[in-house]
Amino acid sequence: MTSNGSRGAGISVAVVGGGIGGLTAALALLRLGIDAHVYEQAAELSEVGAGVQISPNASRVLHGLGLAEDLARTGVKPAALHQRRWDDGRTLTRAPLAGPLEETFGFPHYLMHRADLLAALAARLPAGRIRLGHRLTGLTDHGDRVEARFANGARVEAGVLVGADGIHSPTRALLFGPEHPRFTGCVAYRGLVPAERLRALELETTTQLWMGPGGHFVHYFVAGGRLVNFVAITEQDTWTRESWTDRRAAADALATFEGWHPQVRAIMEAVDETYLWALFDRTPLPRWSTGGVTLLGDACHAMLPFMAQGAAMAIEDAATLAACLASEGRPGLGRYEAERVPRTARVHALSTANKARFHLPDGPEQRERDAGMAAGASGLSLDAMAWIYGHDAFGHSTR
């Protein structure tokens, strides 16, 4: 991808937030000849240890940005998505990934450690493009430029400012006023286990999702197969702690999943420590932009992780934003929003619906769900997923 002398080549972009979406946006903009800098509030780039799924719609973007070798080195290609019953391990459905998915959509599906992906993105950015210790405190849109003010006293001007600053986005609050994310009634225990500790389980290289009453459990390999990432999600009524990520004893997770299949429990027993995350979302915003300021990723469409598309949607946002700004300059924000809002809202709705489907209590509805999945009614066929996996975020909308 190179600049073609388009209208956007003369503008500058300030990206607020140095997560996966923000770094992808900066890299995509620079590849298209647009001057871009990232302003991250933290003192260093870091990710709490957790896995992320990079489906073909996202790997298409990342390959286009030159990350194919990085993904191949640190990512894992799962053979299938294997959905199972919580107590006896019975297969409910098994959808092929790896070869069939790559052959159909042209790009792989990867399972990755978030820190590996973040490091790969940061390494591709030229020196000096990431400014750490910059917490956004104010914005002024002067019509032809946006002034950003930071807690450290720095002031920056750019033609466009992009808020890629997460679910607690200061950019969104400055644009549209304060809004509190909604606790979804779900919390997630997350952990990473050295794969060698689990050798006796003879785990397949698949994404395994175990469905049970009031919760589900997901595990897969990351970090080139050296680690097993797990997410154990359960329901609770309230969340009162200020932190979203508390260190918790593995015994807490085990107690929550009492009676689950021995494989599930063996994985949790092998972890040194777990983090407990509260899962929040928000009603998708009907608009993301005001003047020369727009939003990206969780800042505008935070969603439950039950479609494994949160990071992928942010990566898609980044690619589409870069393409729109490159072709139209600042007015391209209107097209960016028009293309992304309906698609992300659709994925958000399906992610929310999966909470009920995954967590059915044992009984008639659960048996009906299981029978439908066994009959191939899970919606996981390659044809059914084409609208997600086949999307070209650099090109045109397929919503």
Question: What is the 3-state secondary structure of 349-398?
Answer: HHHHHHHHHHCCCCCHHHHHHHHHHHCCCCCCCCCCCHHHHCCCCCCCCC
Contact by Cβ (8 Å): 167, 284? no
CATH of domain 1-44+132-181+285-359: 3.50.50.60
Secondary structure of residue 75 in the 3-state scheme: coil
pLDDT score of 1: 39
Cα distances from 298 to residues 21, 104, 170, 346, in angstroms, run 9, 29, 12, 15
The residue assigned the tokens 């924000």 is 333
The rounded distance, in Å, linking the Cα atoms of 29 and 130 is 14
Structural element, H or E, at residue 73: helix 68-74
Cα distances (Å, whole numbers) of residue 182 to 88, 283, 342: 34, 8, 21
The secondary structure of residue 329, as a DSSP letter, is S
* pLDDT at site 141: 94
User: What is the pTM (predicted TM-score) of this model?
Assistant: 0.93
Taking the C-alpha atoms of residue 388 and residue 391, their distance in angstroms, rounded to an integer, is 6
Regions of the chain with pLDDT less than 70: 1-9, 47-49, 240-245, 377-380, 396-399
**What pLDDT score does 397 carry?**
38
Give the tokens for residue 327: 């072709």
User: Closest by alpha carbon to 219, among 248, 185, 189?
Assistant: 189
Residue pair 171/293 in contact (Cβ under 8 Å)? The answer is yes
Question: Are 78 and 97 within 8 A, CB to CB?
Answer: yes
Match 């972890």 to its residue by tokens: 271
The two three-digit tokens of residue 276, written as one number: 């407990």
pLDDT at 95: 87
Q: What is the pLDDT of residue 279?
A: 87
- Domain 49-113+182-281+360-391, CATH: 3.30.9.30
Pairing mode, strands 293-295 and 160-163: parallel
Integer CA distances (angstroms), 130 to 121, 165, 329, in order? 11, 14, 22
- Residue 316 in tokens: 């898609």
Instruction: In the chain, list all ranges with CATH 3.30.9.30.
Output: 49-113+182-281+360-391
Active-site annotation holder among 220, 275, 336, 389? 220
- E strand intervals along 101-196: 110-113, 130-131, 136-141, 146-150, 155-158, 160-163, 182-194
* Cα–Cα distance measured from residue 280 to residue 86, given in angstroms and rounded to the nearest whole number: 24
Phi, psi of 162 (to 5 degrees): -115, 120
The question of whether 110 is a catalytic residue gets the answer no
8 A C-beta contact, residue 275 and residue 245: yes
Q: Where in the chain is the domain with CATH 3.50.50.60?
A: 1-44+132-181+285-359
- Could you tell me which of 139, 146, 125, 114 has the C-alpha nearest to residue 38? 125
Residue 140 pLDDT: 96
Taking a C-beta distance cutoff of 8 angstroms, is the pair 247, 198 a contact? Answer: no
User: Distance between CA 48 and CA 192 in Å, rounded?
Assistant: 11
